[in-house]
Amino acid sequence: MYIPEHFPAEPKALWSLFHTINQLPRPSRKEDKFREFILKEAETLKLKTHTDEVGNVIVYVPATVGYENHETVIIQNHMDMVTDATPDRNINFAQDPIITFREGDWIKADRTTLGADNGIGCAAALALMYDKTVSHPPLELLFTIDEETGLKGAWGVDANYLKGKKMLNLDTEEWGSLYIGCAGGIDYEFKKTVKMVPAKLKGKSYKLTVGGFLGGHSGVDIHEQRGNAIKFLMDWITSIPADSFELSEWRGGKAHNIIPRDAFALVVLKDAKAAEEVAKKVEGRWRAFMPENDRGFFTKVEEVEAISEVVDAHDLKLLLSFLVAFPHGAHAYDLASNKELVSLSNNLAISLMVRGQFYLQSSLRFFDRGECVGLENQVQALALGFGLEFSKNGEYPSWKPVRENKLLDLVADKYQALFQKKAKVTAIHAGLECGILRDKIGPIDAVSFGPTIMGAHSPQERVHIPSVETFWTLFKEVLKAL
């Protein structure tokens, strides 16, 4: 197995497979090459497989000697990755490999997402096909598609092809934590056709840009109050006197599960210098309350070709007011068991105003479906009040924590025995597939754990090398004990 020089030597199979996976394109809905690789390797090793109608893959790995009569265990990961890059990085995620490098104790990517979410988990599962030194019961390696943009794979799993009643999910990004619960979610889309009129303002045309925010995962990072580029852009535009500009277009955000890092608007301005001064004031106001590590954002005013059509002033006022009022961020915390855990949030993820068509996508996350109703009512009322159409898409259930869990007890005991400290047993404010799979398969014990991955869903994504080694050690010991 080949391992690049900048990768650690051990665990050999895991790191080699992670490198191989990163040579294969795997955006959501385009996991074909990765799936083909899994099936080809399984065939070479004479392992049985099943591919379902939506494209999920199950690899059946027989028990090692002495474990033949043990209960089957499901090892679950998703094949797809979030694809995001900095504006100066030219990459086609549908065909180009992920270029990696090492910086201290971290493996990073060259100005793109790394794909450690969930590539490291996939590599760990695949390593069990090759590493004959790992003792384990019969295994069902379940690789799902399209987790990042709609959990389509989890919804499409056919439980008739799974025997296991214990499941290890390896899609966790905080080493030392054992997750026994996750948030559910709902995506909303808002649309409105607006009137476009000829530009009349005496002035020049400009592109207003804001960029350089950290962005990040719209679930696990939402509590950090990171900057939302769409919100900043709206703050900037609405701080310019209404009679001093006309607006033609704006774009911001890339995906429902990413906090927007960049946004821009095309405008006609009476006075570009005045708009720059407004930007400086808004920047100062934002930097005063933002986290220190997210104060490196920038604004830019660039002259562009003359704009001929702009949004009607009345419609523009409605849209800007809607976006200013639209909720974003953490809304409630789990006061009952973990006051640091967000229990309800909303991510203003994408907003476009192009050729008279307005579009907004948001992502609500919750632990208790009932608690989410109030926030749903709020966004729906805003839409109705401002004359927008809305639709609800892609709802998925939460995975409510159950501490009476024999698998959890085993994993927690092994963690403590190996590392002489207790693991943190908690839930995560993000969507894992466990909730859906438990509904489809029936009553199963499930635990999620993994190495430390920072900056997921952003070009800052990185995986902590020492935690990968300890994660692999725990993974092997848990399998040995099952």
Which of 216-220, 332-336, 353-357 is predicted most confidently?
A: 353-357
Q: What is the pLDDT of residues 290-332, one digit of tens each?
A: 999 999 999 999 999 999 999 999 999 999 999 999 999 999 9
Average pLDDT over residues 204-231: 96
Confirm if 349 and 84 have CB atoms less than 8 A apart: no
The pLDDT value recorded for residue 2 is 86
Q: Where are the domains of the chain?
A: 12-183+399-481, 186-396
465-481 and 12-21 are packed helices; what angle lies between their axes, rounded to 10 degrees? 120
Residues annotated as catalytic (active site), given as ranges: 80, 147
Average pLDDT over residues 443-469: 96
Question: Is 312 strand, coil or helix?
Answer: coil
Q: How far is CA 422 from CA 37, 159, 177, 465, in A?
A: 38, 34, 9, 21
Question: Is 354 strand, coil or helix?
Answer: strand
* Tokens matching residue 312: 């009607």
List the alpha helices (DSSP H) in 83-136. 116-130
Q: Reply yes or no on whether the pLDDT at 337 is more than 80.
A: no
List all residues 6 or more positions away from 140 whose beta carbon is below 8 Å from its beta carbon: 58, 59, 60, 61, 72, 73, 74, 75, 162, 163, 164
CATH of region 12-183+399-481? 3.40.630.10
CATH of region 186-396? 3.30.70.360
Residue 204: Cβ within 10 Å count: 15
Average pLDDT over residues 412-441: 94
* Tokens matching residue 125: 């599962």
Average pLDDT over residues 229-257: 97
Q: Reply yes or no on whether the pLDDT at 336 is more than 80.
A: no
